Amino acid sequence: MDLFRKGPSLWKRLTDGMALHDLWRQLRSEASSSYGLYSRKKMESETFQRMPRWKQYARIAAALFWELSAARRVCLILGLLLLAGGRQEPAQGFMIFGALLVLLVLGLELADRVTMKRDLEIAREIQGWLVPKTPPPVAGTDIAFITLPANTVSGDYYDVFLRPAPPGQPATERLLLVVADVAGKSVPAALLMATFHASLRTLAGNPMPLVELVSNVNRYTCAHSLGGLRFTTAFLGELDTTTGILRYVNAGHNHPVLVRSGGTIERLETGGLPLGVNDKALYQSGESLLSVGDRVIIFTDGVVEAQNAKEEEYGEARLLELLKSPLEERSAELLERLMVSLDSFVGTAARYDDITLLILRILPGA
């Protein structure tokens, strides 16, 4: 009777309060993600693609088996042999021992996963400290942002903060907007993202022009990019809150969208190579005068390259269509509308890249 009374609460704890259709959707997504990981990592040859489906599954199972440590492989093989040969009544003890060996391997793998998950959760918490929770209170600006990692931690980076103006400039502070994307995903990209954050924050505290700031960050990034293999695309924009002038450098990043209050669209392209490719790279800055109602939408490639179950990409056309929004729509409302559209398009398909969006809208009083 006590079990019946506790049943609903136990089920809620077991499922994290998720409905059955959400559990099924999560299971399908995780299965698709795992299959995609091993089919791409191990089986990219044309020979694999021509195999019958059952042979593909067998090949992927073998790949999973060889990912185990040697001791666990031996235990698993021995356990399966004992299970297969223990069907006769005199050998049932061997069958039980075989099941225990299989459970031992499963338990050790689960223990590794729990430890890794705990470490990654700590890493995600630390990573969360590196990016702002809320934008700085700057009069005349309406800012919203979001980042969604493909895995527990992300190689995407965004930031919004005030920095001193270069010498001789009238404004005492400038609003710096940054969105960056380190090549790769998960832990390696997250570690490089942390070094990018440290270098940017340190260098941005000095009152230097934006181009000089980007060049200095690039030199630092080159020293930690493994010869350009771990480069970083980035967009850095600096808003003069007195004049409304946005100066920017696009370092190989997706071209942000500037939507004028009248509905016309411009792309912010001027800049140079991604950071970390060439320590002698030269960068140019672009400039746009922002007026009341203008919006700047900065995003990483995880947005436009997100795929649905048919492997179709979300694409820039869908993004640009959604940006035709009313003048009075707040940045947070537009951001929510974009994410609903993206989630609806992707559906149950696995997400293979980090997603980051940052939206700036100019209000009266800038």
CB-based contact 276:228 (threshold 8 Å): yes
Q: State pTM to two decimals.
A: 0.74
362 confidence band (pLDDT: 50, 70, 90): very high
Please state, in angstroms and rounded to a whole number, the distance separating the CA atoms of residues 309 and 323: 25
Q: Is the pLDDT of residue 364 over 70?
A: yes
226-251 pLDDT tens trace = 666 678 999 999 999 888 999 999 99
Please state, in angstroms and rounded to a whole number, the distance separating the CA atoms of residues 285 and 270: 6
Q: What is the mean pLDDT of residues 80-84?
A: 81
Please state, in angstroms and rounded to a whole number, the distance separating the CA atoms of residues 286 and 263: 21
Q: What pLDDT was estimated at residue 173?
A: 77
**Residue 273, φ and ψ in degrees, nearest 5:** -70, 160
Q: What pLDDT was estimated at residue 265?
A: 92
Please state, in angstroms and rounded to a whole number, the distance separating the CA atoms of residues 9 and 333: 35
339-361 pLDDT tens trace = 999 999 988 777 778 889 999 99
Q: Of the candidates 125, 59, 74, which has an alpha carbon nearest to the alpha carbon of residue 104?
A: 74
Q: Is the pLDDT of residue 298 over 90?
A: yes
What letter represents residue 172's amino acid?
Answer: T
Helices (H), strands (E): how many in the chain? 11, 11
309-321 pLDDT tens trace = 888 899 999 999 8
Q: CB under 8 Å to 91, separation ≥6 — which residues?
A: 85
219 confidence band (pLDDT: 50, 70, 90): very high
Average pLDDT, the chain: 82
Q: Which residue has the tokens 């996963």?
A: 113
Q: In this structure, what DSSP letter does residue 224 have?
A: T
Distances (CA, A) of 343 to 37, 87, 150, 335: 21, 49, 13, 12
User: Nearest 5°: CA angle at 359, between 355 and 364?
Assistant: 175
Identify the sign of the CA torsion 158, 160, 165, 171. positive
Please state, in angstroms and rounded to a whole number, the distance separating the CA atoms of residues 160 and 142: 12
Domains of the chain: 2-127 (no CATH), 135-362 (3.60.40.10)
Q: Is 232 helix (H, G, I), strand (E, B) or coil?
A: strand
Q: What is the dihedral of CA 60, 63, 65, 69, to 10 degrees?
A: -160
Q: What pLDDT was estimated at residue 365?
A: 64
Most confidently predicted of 6-10, 282-286, 324-328: 282-286
- Pair type for strands 257-259 and 232-239: unpaired
Distances (CA, A) of 138 to 46, 145, 160, 360: 55, 15, 11, 11
Q: Is the pLDDT of residue 286 over 90?
A: yes
**Between these two residues, 1 and 181, which has the higher pLDDT value?**
181
Please state, in angstroms and rounded to a whole number, the distance separating the CA atoms of residues 31 and 60: 12
Q: What is the mean pLDDT of residues 160-165?
A: 89
Percentage, residues of the chain above pLDDT 70: 80
Distances (CA, A) of 251 to 70, 83, 239: 45, 59, 17
